[in-house]
Structure 1
Amino acid sequence: MPSLLLRHAAVAVAGPILTYAVIIMLGTTPFIQRHILYAHKFYQFWQDSDQPQNWGFARNQVTSFHLPTEDGESIHAWHILPLPVYRQHEELLQVQQTGHCADVTASESFRILKDDPSAKLIVYLHGNAGHLPSMVRAPSFHTYTATSNYHVLAIDYRGFGTSTGSPTEDGLILDGCAALHFALETVGLSPDRIVIVGHSLGSAVAAGAAERYTRVHGVDFAGVIMVASFSNLSDMLSGYAIAGLVPILKPLRSYPRILRLVLGCLVDHWESAQRLRNMVSIVHRSNAEEDQDKRAYKKKTNDNPRRHLQLSLIHAADDNDIPCFEDDKIFNTVIAPLVGEEVPATELLALKEQRTKHLGKGAFVSEWRDGDVTIRQERFPHGGHNNIVLFPPVLLEMMRIFEEAAERRQ
């Protein structure tokens, strides 16, 4: 009898371990890995995202259309009008046909955005799984547009919803760039009237797209807001648990060699902290060289306007999916070009503390300003992983960034 019990106990223990091992092994293959990471096939096929009224938007408040990417994909997009602006043009908008718009440039909503010299745009990049209106996305668009004058441009990445293609790191960054290209070139908006907002996986897309525009095109947007972000995929997965309950690679932390072997199989890396640090370095170095040049030649002109970067990190303390300390890693990484590479961690912590306002248990705001570079980190006590995009810190940060952009224009 004892041996039978031991055999049953061994089977009971070995079964879950074997299942976990098989899942991890399957996850090392690029095809399975990307389906797990992006979960792009998990969306509501029965929901027609070309009919935004199903999610409580006014008739033609949302224009549903597709954008081309530079590598030939076609990604689904929503342009959402702010309600105060919609109200001014309500009669014209309501007589237009609803549904998918084949030529967005011929739509009334596009004309409204393009013809408004004071227009402000939020480029919203969502997290993994679902499609444009899934989960908290549609409610968040309502939050951002209900009372403000902010337009929203949101996209479904390749492979998501009705967008073509399959998701990869480089591909999603191109998708984010396609949205920014549309805003800058097709609509004709000035970059200082555009705020990029990325949530969860979308924060990594935001970092990648913004860094590319900073590095390749020399374009500085009004601001970049990273909500529930992570420093890089390897670090995040090492401690990640779905809903804080189902671990992915956390059990392997007791076996470092196996963990390194598994992480070495990652095909996408999403080094967000390094990309943001690169942006800080570019802007900081450019302005330092400009200042030195002006001193050397006693220039008094503004032929070369100063570059700027407004980076905001917002995370809920009770985020059970991506731990809030991921923002601490990003903050410490991106300020390195401003303080020097050799500053000890204890001194860095003390410098940050001097710039921090504590707002109760688990809540604080740290703001690091160095010339035209501002790094702002806010830890909010509530909101979890998803609802944080609906909570006041995100909309308030949009308002703060647009106000500072307006001050720079004066």
Structure 2
Amino acid sequence: MELGELSLRDTESPTIAHCPAGDPAKIHVLTFDYRGFGKSTGSPSETGLMMDALDVIDWAMHVAGIPPSRILIFAQSMGTAVSIAVSKHLALQDPPVIFAGTVLVAPFVDVATLVSTYRVAGTIPIISPFTRLPLVFKYLQRFIRDKWLSKDSIAQYMRANEFNEEKYRLTIIHAEDDYDIPWHHSQLLFWHAVNASTSTGMSYDFEQKKLDSKADLGAAGSTMEWRTDNGVIREEILKTGLHDVIMGYPVITMAVMRHFEAVDPSFTS
């Protein structure tokens, strides 16, 4: 049976391609243009992008005939917000729809936090000076139309999976030198995911637990896995990779393969 990878990235052209690792006859990549970009009509919005993503997933399952257990949701940058929201939406359905896994590269906590940390070329702040003026910053947030509350969505996704005892896998990857979306966004998302996977929430010593259990890879960065009875939440922080260069790194392919091998150990054989 084939495996599918639904890719949500900052891209303006659709791509269907074979993955270079494993058996190329077993994996396909499906991407699509955001509304208002490439060949897609309309204008982008949180509701519209959600509808489009759900339509693509519905096509993959009911037209291409690939069951959700053999579909991986892969996303980078802006696409991570869409993929987290979609994964949460489907996990809350009755019955829930759970995929083989979700891989997020350079995600962000929410739009308000993102604009408060964004710097042009990593040096020139745009909105961050206003964070020192809470009332002004709160006023400016009124003009943010699409919130993309990824931290809340990822927490709801985890709680739903744990409550339903559904098997899940989540990988978050970020580079420390990413100046478009600072890597602490991934740290915060990882915390929200882990916190929601426990019945009592994380205690104050979470950072110490990370220090004790994460694998230090030296110049390559570090990895940390949090396991529950139902799933695995993995954080991979690279020393280098910027925002887009990281997409060509082997760590990306390895993450995808790891999820598919968890579904079918013979996948790469």
TM-score (norm 1): 0.61
1:327 equivalenced with 2:186 (yes/no): yes
**Higher RCO (C-alpha under 8 Å, 6+ residues apart):** 2
Partner of 2:131: 253
Which of 228, 247, 267 does residue 145 from structure 2 map onto?
267
1:212 Cα offset (Å)? 1.1
- Write the letter of the residue equivalent to 1:146: P
The separation in 1 between residues aligned to 2:57 and 2:135, in whole angstroms, is 41
Cross-structure match for 1:284: 162
- Does residue 374 of structure 1 match 2:252? no
| 1:1-40 matched pairs, under 5 angstroms | none
1:132 aligns with 13
Instruction: Write the distance in 1 (CA, Å) between the matches of 2:229 and 2:21.
Output: 33
1:318 partner SS = coil
Largest Rg, 1 or 2:
1
- Conserved in 1, the CA contact under 8 Å of 2:13 and 2:39? no
Contact 2:104 2:173 in 1 (8 A): yes
- Equivalents in 2 of 1:194, 1:357: separation in Å? 28
1:83-137 per-position Cα deviation (integer Å, ceiling 9, x unaligned)? xxxxxxxxxxxxxxxxxxxxxxxxxxxxxxxxxxx2111111012xx6126xxxx
Match 1:391 to one of 249, 255, 267? 249
Structure 2 match to 1:406: 264
Is this contact kept in 1: 2:173–2:235, CA < 8 A?
A: yes
1:247 offset after TM fit, Å? 2.3
Q: Once the two structures are superposed, what CA deviation does each residue of 1:39-74 show, in whole Å capped at 9, x if it has no partner?
A: xxxxxxxxxxxxxxxxxxxxxxxxxxxxxxxxxxxx
Equivalent position amino acid for 1:348 in 2: F
Percent identical residues: 29
TM-score, normalised to structure 2's length?
Answer: 0.91
Q: CA deviation at 1:407?
A: 4.8
Q: C-alpha distance in 1, partners of 2:229/2:79? A: 28
1:245 Cα offset (Å)? 3.1
Q: Where do 5+ consecutive residues of structure 1 fail to align?
A: 1-117, 288-306
User: For structure 2, which runs of at least 5 residues remain unmatched after alignment?
Assistant: none
Q: Do 1:173 and 1:205's aligned partners in 2 also have CA atoms closer than 8 Å?
A: yes
Does structure 2 retain, via aligned residues, the 8 Å contact 1:172–1:205?
A: yes
Query: Are 1:202 and 2:79 counterparts?
Result: yes
Which ranges of 4 or more aligned residues in structure 1 deviate by more than 4 Å?
none
Q: Does 1:353 align with 2:211?
A: yes
Q: How many residues align?
A: 263
Task: State the Cα RMSD in Å.
Answer: 2.1
| Matches for 1:116-155 after TM superposition, within 5 Å | 118-127=1-10, 131-132=12-13, 145-148=19-22, 149=24, 150-155=27-32
Question: Do 2:194 and 2:202's aligned partners in 1 also have CA atoms closer than 8 Å?
Answer: no
Q: In 2 relative to 1, CA 318–263 (structure 1 residues): closer, same or farther, beyond 3 Å?
A: same
| Preserved contact between residue 317 and residue 362 of structure 1 (Cα < 8 Å) | no
Q: Please state how far the C-alpha of 1:147 moved relative to its aligned partner.
A: 4.5
Instruction: Kindly indicate whether residue 100 of structure 2 is the aligned counterpart of residue 222 of structure 1.
Output: yes
SS in structure 2 opposite 1:339? coil
How far does residue 285 in structure 1 lie from its aligned partner after superposition? 1.1
Equivalent runs, 1:85-100 vs 2, <5 Å: none
CA distance in 1, matches of 2:3, 2:261: 11
